[in-house]
Every structure is written in structure tokens, then in C-alpha cells.
Structure 1
Amino acid sequence: MEHHELFQKIIECIDAGTSFALVQVLKTDGSTPLKIGARALVDSTGHIEDTIGGGAVEAQAQQQTVMACAEGKARVFDFELHGTSRQDSNPTCGGAMRVLIDPTIARARPVFTQIVTAIHDRQPGILETRVTRGNDTEVTYQWQPLGDHQDTPEFITRKDQDVLRNPILPLPHLIIAGAGHVGQALAVQAVLIGFAVTVLDDRPAFCTRARFPVPVALLCQDMPGALSQCRLGPDTYIVILTRSHQFDAAVLEACIQESIAYIGMIGSRRKIEVMRRDFVTAGLATAAQFERVCAPIGLDIGSVTAAEIATSITAQLIAVRRRGAQA
């Protein structure tokens, strides 16, 4: 479950009167299944949506949530993964996790409404969770604009308070130029790995909901013109898969000057070299700008079918998203 779905689910559960808790990993040390900021929803029966790492720590979180919901009080528990053998029931990862369980989250509905609105508007921000320790554990939440380009969670501990500052960023935006078989398969895979997807094509027969039943935006018009309607930024990824090298070139010309996360284009090495020469000679791009284009697109995994080619592109998108330029 992506964060936009989880926060919408929080509001739905509150409005439905469901007894549940938001479970968050406040702090980790050493090797752990998931890191600081991981979150899940657990209801009063122990049913969980999303994950904080699975296995024993998640099982304990589910058990603790059942008790916390019955009490109506938040609680924090520490879990050590210091098992010494495969027979040991304790995980052997070697790390430790501090987990917050908050069944009082309904009081913070206005904050989570702010978050859902911000995600819809593609506005990044920080969800600050403050945990005050005492006879009872008190939890408060605050939504703040993103400052100083913080993009990783931060844990701060004070005398009687733990603070988790967790960035909530818009889903990265993937624009697929070309609604053919590869584009169709790629759209499905990209949605699954957490991209907001827009598909461009000028052919009404290809740009249809029947071919794209997943939640993607469809723009059926001239592709460079459609691209100009999209907001491009550092979280934008563009994949060029049109039906001809002329259309590929037109779309590439429309985006190669933009400061975006990724541009990838399908085609043979010869096609790419010809296009590189033409772009540089015509002054449409510098050699350095063309070097940013991942072409031929995708990781070399021996792909043959449309689905396999889409998978190789998906893997490359993941690498760029998680590793940045070094991918």
C-alpha cells in the first residue's frame, strides 16, 4: 500500500468508527527488516494492512495493537532481533526497532485530511509525530511544509519525548509516450511499484480504458502537445515508446531540456546514435544533455516479449528512483 492509499484509509477508518491503530517504526538500530518511518494500520482484531517488516516484530505489533485498542491508549515497545541460531525464535538480523502503536489517532483526523489534500496536489511535506512519555503515552501529529529538501525520516529523542519527522512526498510521476504493447505492460507494472502514471498517444484506438484498466491518466492527442500539459519536475520520469523514430524524436525534443529525474527511449543502438548526431548537430541538445537519455532503454536482462521489455524498464526505473544518478 502506497502512502497516499494508507492516509486515505486512515480517514475512511475514522469515519467508519473502526477501532484501529496507526503503527509506526520510530527508530531502528543495526540490521532490521524495515527502517525508520515504516507504517501500517492494524485493527482491533489484529488484521494488518501494509507492513512494518513482517515476521516476529509484526506479529508482536499485531498482538500489542489488540491490547492497545482495548485500552484506548497508545504504547511504545522495543523489539530486539538478536537471535543466535536458526532454532532461536528471535530473529537473527542483529538490530533493534522501536515501534509506536496509536489507537487514539481519530483525534488527528484534521492532520490526515491535510496530508491527503497535499498528496493530491503533489505538495511534499513532513508528518511530525510527537510521543510524550509518562504514566500514559501521549501522541500528537503535525503536518508541515517540506523544508531544506529533507527526503529521509529523522528520529529525535529528548528528555521525555520522542519525535519522528517523516517526509511525505508525492508519488513519482511516470509519463509513457506511446500506448502500444510495451507501454500497456509498463503502465501496469509502474502502478504496482508506486508511480503515478500518465500515458500519451494520438491514436484513440490505443488510448482507451479497456487497454488501460489500471488507475492511470490517459491523454489522447498530439504527444509533444500533451507533454506540454504535464507538470515536469525533479520527480518526473519519461519513457518514450512511440511507434516510429520520428515520433520518438518529437517527444524527446519536447523534454530533453527539462530538469527531470529520467528520460528513457526505446530503439536500437544505431537509431540512438543517429538521433544523437541529429540532435547535437541541430542544436536541440548538447552532447551532455543527450548523455542523460537512457537509450537503448531498460536493463539488459535478455528481454524479448513486450512484458519482458516492460520489466527491464521497470527495473531501471526502480534503480534510478532508489539509487539516483549512480544507477
Structure 2
Amino acid sequence: MEGKIMLEIAKRIDRGEKAALVTLTGVDGSSPGKSGSIMGVFFDHTTLGTIGGGNLEFQVINSAIEAMKIGENREFEFTLAAEGSLDMICGGKVRGYIKVFQRRRKLVIAGGGHLGVDLYKLGKYLNMYTVIIDDREEYVNEERFPEADELLCGDIGEILKNYSLDEGSYLVIVTRGHLGDKDALKAVVGRKIAYAGMIGSRKKVVESYRDLMDEGVDKEDLLKIYSPVGLDISNGDPAEIALGIMAEILQVKNNGTGKHMREVKVIIL
């Protein structure tokens, strides 16, 4: 069972889901669970394994869900007596640890052209869960993206409209044309997402924003989009543009300043 629990946790993390491992580190006296017992807890409230069941397990599951929400490990201790917090009569005491596993960040690339390929390579290098979306079969296949986690072919706007995106998702819109970019943006603007960027000249971006506002899209939501996308560090080559985009994504992900490290004052002894 322990092997199944660890494999399921690994599988969930690989899919970009949140997961936690609960371990009983100490048991004094009588308890439904034994020291060393483990249980996998997932953000959808499903579990695998057990630490003894009952109110103890119920409380620990809730604690694990809270720990996953804030992304922090935590310890727990419960007294299993009538006067204890769990109102149990086993008479023992249990201690344990909840390990929260950081999920893989998801990179969603809307557009499988040259820039999409370079973004995909950088995403895989950074161990991100990569998703490629395009409306052309020849631009979204295993030959072009051999290690992509998902390849989705069809109407890009419709796919994005129905695709699950959350605070662990980073979207880059680089379709084959201005209209495709705008349709993709319309499908995601206003949704809770870690990062959404769209390629385009400043003129094209302004035109897209105006069109979308005319269609009822909120201006404040549009201002949260990173567009034109990326940091100003490239010479215009697709590989360098992709690097500038990924640098911006990392800046957002890690709350970086984007400043040169040499600007940090160092005392030389």
C-alpha cells in the first residue's frame, strides 16, 4: 500500500495537482493508527491509505487540505481521550507530520509555431507540465513536441474556454495571427491564473484591447495581461524572444525584481 500511495502522489503532482503525505510519527498509548502509518491526501478531498480512521483521520484530512491551500508543511498532535479535542476514548496520544508536495507548474502554449517550440523546450528544461494548443494538426503532434504532456488540436479559443486553468498555470498566447491571439485572450481574460501573456506589437495589443472592451470585457482584467509579452532582452530571434518570455514568467512566479544582481550592495571584506 505504501508504494501505491507514493506512486499516486507522484502521479498527481505530475498532473499539476496538489498533494500531501500524512505520517504518524509517534503514538503513545492506545490509538487506531500505528506509528509510521501514512496516508495520501489530495486537494479534491480524496485519500489513499489510512492513519486509523474516525474523527482523528477526519481532522487530519481537513488540516492537510488547509496546509495545501497555503503551501506549508505542518505538524499535528491529538489526545485521544474524552477530554481531548477529538472527543475519543482510546486514551492515547498521536503526533504526526503533513508534508505538502509542490506541484509542477503548468505552461500552456497557445500556438505551435517556431516560438511555441522554443517556449516548449524551455518549459521542459524547467520541469514544467507543458500543454500545446493549435488548430493545425501539423503544428501540434508528437514529432514536433515529443515530450509535451498534452497536445490539443482544434479551435484554440474554444479549447481554452473549457480548459482548466488556475493559480498554478502560466499561459502564453502566440498563435499564427492577430485574430487567433484575440480569440485566445478573450477565452481566458478575467480567470484566476498565475500568468497570461500575449504576443504582439503595442499597436496590435491596443487594438485587441479596444475590440474586447467593445465586446464587454472589463478593462481592469485586460490590464492584468502581460502584453506585449516578455522582458526586453532579445534581438528578435524566436529563441531569444522565448527566453525573454520565460524570464518574465519566472519573475512573476518567484516574485523577483528583475534587477541586475550586481545592483545588490555587497560588503567586501
Partner Cα separation in structure 2 for residue 162 and residue 299 of structure 1: 48
Q: Using the TM superposition, give the Cα deviation of residue 214 of structure 1 relative to its aligned residue in structure 2, in angstroms.
A: 2.0
| Structure showing greater relative contact order (alpha-carbon pairs closer than 8 Å, 6 or more residues apart) | 2
> Which protein has the bigger strand share?
1
2:211 aligned with 1:281 = no
Which residue number corresponds to residue 21 of structure 2? 127
Instruction: Give yes or no for the alignment of 1:199 onto 2:199.
Output: no
- Alpha-carbon displacement from aligned partner over 1:213-238 (angstroms, at most 9, x marks no partner): 22331112111122234212222221
**Residue of structure 2 aligned with 1:309, choices 219, 222, 241:** 241
The amino acid that maps onto 2:12 is A
How far does the alpha carbon of each residue in 1:235-285 deviate from its partner, in whole angstroms, 9 at most, with x for none? 2221100111111111111111322221100111111122222222331x2
Matches within 5 A, 1:1-327: 108-119=2-13, 122-131=16-25, 139-145=36-42, 146-148=64-66, 149-154=69-74, 164-283=97-216, 285-323=217-255
Q: Which residue of 2 aligns with 1:41?
A: none
| Matched-pair contact (CA < 8 Å) for 1:187–1:216 | no
One-letter amino acid matched to 2:218: T
In 2: Cα distance, 1:206 partner to 1:122 partner: 24
* CA pair 225-118 structure 1, distance change in 2 beyond 3 A: same
SS of the residue aligned with 1:227? helix
Distance, in Å, in 1 between the alignment partners of 2:116 and 2:196 is: 15
What percentage of aligned pairs have identical amino acids? 28
Asked if 2 retains the 8 angstrom alpha-carbon contact of 1:119 and 1:169, the reply is yes
| Alpha-carbon distance in 2 for matches of 1:216, 1:175 | 10
Q: For 2:209 and 2:161, how far apart are their aligned partners in 1?
A: 22
Q: Secondary structure at the match of 1:127?
A: strand
Summarize the Cα distance change of 1:308–1:130 in structure 2 as closer, same or farther, 3 Å threshold: farther
The residue identity in structure 2 corresponding to 1:298 is: G
Aligned length: 215
- 3-state secondary structure, aligned to 1:264: strand
The AA in structure 2 aligned to 1:245 is: H
Give, in whole Å, the separation in 1 of the partners of 2:152 and 2:102: 24
Deviation at 1:303, TM superposition (A): 4.0
Question: Residues of 2 paired with 1:211 and 1:193: CA distance?
Answer: 19
What do residues 184-234 of structure 1 show as CA deviations (whole Å, max 9, x unaligned)?
010111122122111111112222222212233111211112223421222
> Mean alpha-carbon deviation: is it higher for 119-128 or for 226-235?
119-128
- Structure 1 distance, partners of 2:120, 2:140, is 12
Counterpart CA distance in 2 for 1:322 and 1:128 is 27
- Quote the Cα distance in structure 1 between the aligned partners of 2:17 and 2:150: 19
SS across alignment from 1:302: coil
- Partners in 2 of 1:256 and 1:114 — Cα distance? 33
- RMSD between aligned residues: 3.0
Q: Secondary structure of the residue that 1:147 maps to in structure 2? A: helix
